[in-house]
Amino acid sequence: MSLRKPSFENPDSSSEINISPLIDVMFILLIFFVVTMAFAEKSALEIDRPKSEKASQSPEKALNIFVEKNGRISVAGAYVSIDSLEKIASLRGEKNAVIDSDASVKISTIVEIMDACSRAGIEKVFIASDKTREGGL
């Protein structure tokens, strides 16, 4: 009976690494990160903001509410009603809200949105505007 060390190397096999499984895993990870990526809540809507001389930076953590010219309200890319807005605002638990509306939107629509935010527990409501240039619009 001869005692030999086991050999794990097969002289017939090549010393190449099969990277096909690695490519599959990387592709799946890429798809996962693209699908679950948190998109910025910037409006893709055409909104002509009102102008203001005292425009300042909005708070970082705030519920962004977009209002189109025709009065349609959008939150996180979905159109909502005033009642839905109130529910969404209360579920998100934000303390600040930013209303980004077109300059031609009726003030009554803005007031309804502000009331809904207030009922949902939002403490401060800001209205987004563009800063006017020195010497006029």
pLDDT tens by residue, the chain, 137 residues: 566 666 666 655 566 778 888 899 999 998 888 877 765 545 555 555 555 555 555 566 888 888 888 888 888 778 888 888 888 888 887 888 888 887 788 888 888 888 988 888 888 888 877 666 655 44
The pLDDT, as a whole number, for residue 64 is 85
C-alpha to C-alpha distances, 104 to 56, 107, 126, nearest whole angstrom? 21, 9, 17
Q: Which two tokens stand for residue 65?
A: 């509410």
The pLDDT, as a whole number, for residue 52 is 57
For 60-134, list the strands marked E by DSSP. 63-67, 73-75, 78-80, 96-101, 124-127, 130-131
82: phi then psi, degrees, rounded to nearest 5: -65, -40
126, 52 contact by CB (below 8 A): no
Q: Which two tokens stand for residue 24?
A: 């599959």
Q: pTM here?
A: 0.55
54, 107 contact by CB (below 8 A): no
For residue 39, what is the DSSP state?
P
The pLDDT, as a whole number, for residue 26 is 92
| Host H or E run for residue 29 | helix 20-36
